[in-house]
């Protein structure tokens, strides 16, 4: 799969539809055995049967609700399997609407899936991969995490977490463990129905990517060894400039006195 030629099996979360199902398809065609994870066993079985017939790779399915600790533990344990070299940390949900109108239990469940499960699975994978000094972790983030203007306060924050988490892990894990955060823009999947956003059909078609194009671009970025992949961004120099502006802040983010504009002048 990668420039390091990772040949092992891939565990894909959220493989029953959308981006995860497209990853499963592409990885099977590239010859990777698969472990497919989601809640909908029937959909996972149908996908596994099709891909086995079309590609001949070995596919296991693991039904799990990743917001439930016991189910998550099963998937974490599976990542210790020496045959697994790749984690596609993809399962995620979104939620439409203004924060104060959102159902707080759904908000919490979104944080549980988009943040807690991504973190626990990355931890399990990173430990297993570190022991073998090889492997790859792909975390599916979102451009929303870069853009408060899009007004998805909790969803966007969960995705900002995923991007930051991946960038920071890069500094701690062996260079032989490949890491990538993929930041899709709007992509035609069921997430737009499930989130209560009115379906992908309601979106401007000029801003909507087809899921196969998205995953093919993400895999191309992976093969190029990118840490951050924004499939729709024409010029990577734009993200580099954004990151350089952030890095320029670093020397002044922690100092022994407040900046002059915050200095309270003594009353005369």
Ligand X SMILES: NC(=O)c1ccc[n+]([C@@H]2O[C@H](COP(=O)([O-])OP(=O)(O)OC[C@H]3O[C@@H](n4cnc5c(N)ncnc54)[C@H](OP(=O)(O)O)[C@@H]3O)[C@@H](O)[C@H]2O)c1
> What does DSSP assign to residue 265?
P
For ligand X, give the closer residue by CB, 66 or 124: 66
Which residues lie near ligand X (CB under 6 A)?
14-20, 38-40, 43, 64-67, 90-94, 113, 140, 142, 184, 186-187, 189-191, 194
| Shortest distance, position 85 Cβ to ligand X, whole Å | 21
| Shortest distance, position 134 Cβ to ligand X, whole Å | 25
Cα 118 versus chain centre, distance: 8
For ligand X, give the closer residue by CB, 134 or 145: 145
Contacts of 230 (CB under 8 A, 6+ apart): 143, 183, 185, 239
Contacts of 253 (CB under 8 A, 6+ apart): none
| Shortest distance, position 91 Cβ to ligand X, whole Å | 4
Of the candidates 59, 10, 17, which has an alpha carbon nearest to the alpha carbon of residue 38? 17
Contacts of 119 (CB under 8 A, 6+ apart): 165
Is 155 annotated in the active site? yes
Say which of 155, 161, 164, 262 is annotated catalytic: 155
For ligand X, give the closer residue by CB, 84 or 183: 183
Find residue 136's DSSP bridge partners.
Answer: 86, 178
Enzyme catalytic residues:
155
């Amino acid at each position: 799969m990668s420039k390091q030629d990772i040949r092992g099996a891939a565990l894909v979360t959220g493989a029953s539809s959308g981006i995860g199902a497209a990853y499963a398809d592409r990885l099977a065609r590239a010859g990777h055995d698969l472990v497919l994870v989601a809640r909908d066993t029937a959909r996972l079985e149908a996908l596994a049967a099709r891909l086995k017939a079309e590609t001949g790779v070995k596919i296991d399915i693991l039904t799990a609700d990743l917001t439930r600790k016991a189910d998550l533990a099963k998937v974490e344990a599976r990542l210790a399997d020496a045959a697994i070299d790749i984690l596609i940390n993809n399962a995620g949900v979104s939620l439409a609407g203004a924060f104060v109108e959102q159902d707080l239990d759904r908000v919490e469940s979104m944080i549980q899936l988009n943040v807690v499960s991504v973190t626990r699975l990355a931890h399990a994978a990173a430990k297993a991969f570190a022991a073998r000094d090889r492997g790859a972790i792909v975390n599916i983030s979102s451009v929303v995490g870069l853009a408060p203007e899009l007004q998805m306060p909790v969803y966007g924050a969960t995705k900002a977490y995923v991007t930051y988490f991946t960038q920071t892990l890069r500094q701690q894990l062996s260079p032989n463990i490949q890491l990538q955060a993929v930041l899709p823009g709007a992509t035609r999947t069921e997430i737009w129905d499930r989130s209560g956003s009115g379906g992908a059909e309601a979106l401007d078609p000029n801003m909507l990517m087809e899921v196969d194009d998205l995953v093919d671009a993400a895999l191309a970025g992976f093969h190029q060894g990118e840490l951050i992949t924004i499939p729709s961004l024409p010029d990577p120099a734009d993200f580099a400039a954004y990151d350089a502006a952030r890095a320029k802040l670093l020397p002044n983010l922690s100092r022994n006195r407040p900046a002059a504009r915050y200095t309270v002048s003594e009353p005369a």
